[in-house]
Copies of this chain bind each other. A is one copy, B any other.
Amino acid sequence: MLNKLFAPKSIAIVGASNKKGKVGAVITDNILKLGYGGKVYLVNPSYKLLKLKRCYSSISAIKKDVDVAVISLPSKFVLDVVRESCHLVKNFVIISAGFSEIGEEGAKREKELAKLASEKGLNILGPNCLGFIVPGLKLNASFAGGMPKAGNIAFISQSGALAVALMDRAKQEHISFSNIVSVGNKMQLAEAQLLEYLAKDKETKVIGMYLEGIKDGAKFIEVAKKVSKIKPIVILKAGKTEKSQKAISSHTGALAGSDDIIDIAFDEAGIIRAADLEEFFDLLTLISFTDAPKNEKVAVITNAGGAGVLTTDAFKGKGIVLADLSKKIKEEIKSVLPDEASAENPIDLLGDAGEDRYGNVFKILNTKNFGSIISVLTPQEQTPVEKITSIIIGNKNKHSSLAMTIFIGGERISKSLLELKKNSIPNFSNPDSAINVLDKYYKWSVFKKKKEQILKSNLKVSRKKEVAKIINKAIAENRGALFFSEAAQVMNKYGINPVDCFDVFPELKVPKIKEFPVVLKVDSDKVLHKSDKQALILNIKTQDDLEKAAEKLRVDFPTERFVIQPMHSKHAEIILGIKRDDIFGPVIVYGLGGIYTEVFKMVNFIIPPMSKEDIEKQLLKSKIGFLFSGVRGQKVCDISEFVNIIVGLMEFAMENDNLREFDINPLFIYNDGTRAEAVDIKIIL
Residues of A within 8 A of B (CB): 21, 26, 102, 143-145, 157-162, 164-166, 168-173, 210, 212, 236, 238-241, 243-244, 246-248, 250-252, 275-278, 303-310, 312-316, 322, 340, 342, 344, 346, 348, 351, 378-382, 408-414, 429-433, 532, 595-596, 598-600, 602, 626, 631-634
Contacts and interface: CB of A to CB of B under 8 A. Distances in A.
A409 B241 contact: no
B344 A410 contact: no
A207 B121 CA distance: 65
Nearest to A309: B238
Contacts of A312: 241, 243-244, 247
A632 B251 contact: no
Given A244-B312, A278-B429, A632-B595, A305 B411 contact: no
A301 to B, nearest CB: 13
A343 to B, nearest CB: 10
Contact of A381 (B143, B342, B382): B143
A314 B240 CA distance: 8
A306 B212 contact: yes
A309 B239 contact: yes
A278 B430 contact: yes
A276 to B, nearest CB: 4
B631 A313 contact: no
B277 A161 contact: no
B307 A239 contact: no
B313 A240 contact: yes
A305 B247 contact: yes
Given A162-B310, A278-B430, A600-B602, 15 more contacts: A159-B304, A161-B378, A164-B378, A165-B378, A169-B409, A172-B411, A210-B306, A212-B309, A238-B309, A241-B312, A241-B316, A244-B309, A247-B305, A251-B305, A595-B634
Contacts of A433: 276, 278
29 contacts: A144-B381, A145-B381, A157-B306, A160-B351, A161-B306, A161-B380, A162-B306, A162-B408, A164-B379, A165-B307, A165-B378, A165-B408, A165-B409, A172-B411, A172-B414, A212-B306, A236-B310, A243-B312, A244-B309, A244-B313, A247-B308, A251-B306, A251-B308, A276-B433, A277-B429, A277-B431, A532-B633, A596-B596, A600-B602
A149 to B, nearest CB: 12
B252 A305 contact: yes
A173 B411 CA distance: 10
Contacts of A275: 432
Most buried by B among A239, A312, A430, A595: A312
A248 to B, nearest CB: 6
A169 B408 contact: yes
A382 B25 CA distance: 13
Nearest to A173: B410
Nearest to A278: B430
Contacts of A239: 309, 313
Contacts of A308: 247, 251
Given A410-B169, A598-B631, A310 B276 contact: yes
Nearest to A431: B277
Nearest to A252: B305
A596 B313 CA distance: 27
A378 B162 contact: yes
Contacts of A145: 381
B412 A168 contact: yes
Work out how many copies of this chain go into the complex: 2
Given A238-B313, A408-B165, A344 B379 contact: no
Contacts of A409: 164-165, 168-169
A380 B344 contact: no
Nearest to A143: B381
A633 B531 CA distance: 11
B316 A159 contact: no
A247 B342 CA distance: 9
Contacts of A351: 160-161
Contacts of A210: 306
A582 to B, nearest CB: 18
Contacts of A532: 633
Nearest to A243: B312
Nearest to A596: B596
A533 to B, nearest CB: 12
A632 to B, nearest CB: 6
Most buried by B among A171, A212, A240, A248: A240
B276 A314 contact: yes
A162 B307 contact: yes
Contacts of A243: 312, 315, 322
A430 B246 CA distance: 21
A410 B631 contact: no
A632 B597 CA distance: 11
A659 to B, nearest CB: 25
A16 to B, nearest CB: 17
Contacts of A340: 102
A303 B159 CA distance: 12
A596 B344 CA distance: 37
Given A159-B304, A600-B600, A238 B310 contact: yes
A123 B593 CA distance: 60
A168 B413 contact: yes
Contact of A161 (B240, B307, B410): B307
B304 A431 contact: no
A665 to B, nearest CB: 13
Contacts of A244: 309-310, 312-313
Contact of A411 (B171, B304, B313, B342): B171
A250 B346 CA distance: 11
A148 B96 CA distance: 52
Contacts of A159: 304-307, 309
Given A277-B430, A314-B276, A633-B532, A161 B250 contact: no
A312 to B, nearest CB: 4
A430 B236 CA distance: 13
A161 B303 contact: yes
